[in-house]
Amino acid sequence: MKNNKLNYSGQKIIVGIDVHKKNWHITIIANGLKVSSLSVPPYPNKLYSFLVKHFPNGDYYSVYEAGFSGFWAHRELCALGIKNIIVNPADIPTKTKERRRKTDKIDSEKLARELSAGSLEGIYVPDKQSEGFRALVRLRRQLSKDQSKVKNRIKSLLLFLGEDVPEDINTKNWSQKYINALKELPIEVKESKQTLDNLIQYLEVIRLQLAKVIKQLRIAVSNNHEARKIVELLMSIPGIGFTVGTIIYSEIMDIKRFKNLDQFASYVGLTPDVKASGEREHVKGLSKQSNDKLKNYIIEAAWIAIRKDPALLMAYGKLKSRMSSGSAIIRISKKLLNRIRYVWNNEKTYVLAVVE
């Protein structure tokens, strides 16, 4: 009597997952052939049950793009025995027709195809504790941006009304005394006054929330030995304070994942975007593939660092003699990355160089 029981033992079952809130579109490749393309409920255990039923005892491999869905699905897939990776969408090789015609089915097929070909490399996935710390740091950044937006709305309103306001309207930090002065402005039209009062109240709510989050961050850092150690090391570098130090730590988490400075700079986004054809090579500026949450703060820190570090100031002067100030500060930013990498890898406080 024949044994018709399926057994995929020792065979790779590749699954490309296009993740959405209501469903996942999956494409399955087995032995180099596309065998299934369908939608399944958006739960790792449902996908696992489908694989076990239709491809029993197989070695399951899956991939999905980084995005709104975060890392929870990755952790559950791995816990179920599925070897999953998450990839940066910009790193996925894409055919011209796939760019022109984008559907869930095409996206999942592309992921399965490239995973099967071995051309995909997974991104770094932090543990839950690190992910939580990163979320709090990013919330501080978002609140800071919201605060700036409300200040700009207040400034725009006052300019539109032709009101005379104190000169420090353009300063970065508004004191409570200054905000109280804005409340007392004698605006004639009732509705205009109400608009200003509402904007000021909104600003004060954001300020309170921002202060609360900053306090929570300081507590989180002080209670985490590794975070406290690394942030203190980073703060020994000119241009890096507590805020930037926590941003760098939360976005990197593990400096060892970068084998060299070029890999680190590429992740941050401080490498050139080069277009080469034959013997011609054209540099189009900084690469668009970057961690914007990190890059902008590193560049801002570099501007502060050249005022505090004599060696960086001297290097900036030499660079500026042969290029624009913007190009020069990008070079200084990469030097700053090298300092960050050094103190983190060697766990040594940064010592200012002496220029003779």
Provide the pLDDT for residue 177: 86
Q: Which of 15, 141, 32 is nearest to 80 (CA)?
A: 15
How far apart, in whole angstroms, are the C-alpha atoms of residue 264 and residue 283? 20
How far apart, in whole angstroms, are the C-alpha atoms of residue 182 and residue 163? 10
Instruction: Report pLDDT digits (tens) over 66-106.
Output: 988 899 999 999 999 999 999 999 889 888 877 888 899 99
Q: Please check the confidence at residue 64 and state whether its pLDDT lies above 50.
A: yes
Provide the pLDDT for residue 150: 96
Provide the pLDDT for residue 283: 54
pLDDT band at 1 (very low <50, low <70, confident <90, very high): very low
Q: Specify whether the CB–CB gap between 147 and 203 falls below 8 A.
A: yes
Q: Please check the confidence at residue 134 and state whether its pLDDT lies above 70.
A: yes
Provide the pLDDT for residue 15: 97
The rounded percent of the chain whose pLDDT value lies above 70 is: 92
Provide the pLDDT for residue 101: 83
How far apart, in whole angstroms, are the C-alpha atoms of residue 88 and residue 66? 6
Q: Please check the confidence at residue 280 and state whether its pLDDT lies above 70.
A: no
Q: Please check the confidence at residue 356 and state whether its pLDDT lies above 60.
A: no
pTM: 0.85
User: How does strand 83-87 pair with strand 59-65?
Assistant: parallel
Residue at 328: amino acid letter: A
Provide the pLDDT for residue 125: 94
Provide the pLDDT for residue 198: 97
How far apart, in whole angstroms, are the C-alpha atoms of residue 264 and residue 244? 17
CA angle centred on 39, ends 33 and 41, rounded to 5°: 130
Q: Which is more confidently placed, 219 or 281?
A: 219
Provide the pLDDT for residue 69: 87
Instruction: Report pLDDT digits (tens) over 228-237.
Output: 999 999 999 9
Q: Which is more confidently placed, 351 or 199?
A: 199
Q: Which is more confidently placed, 94 or 146?
A: 146
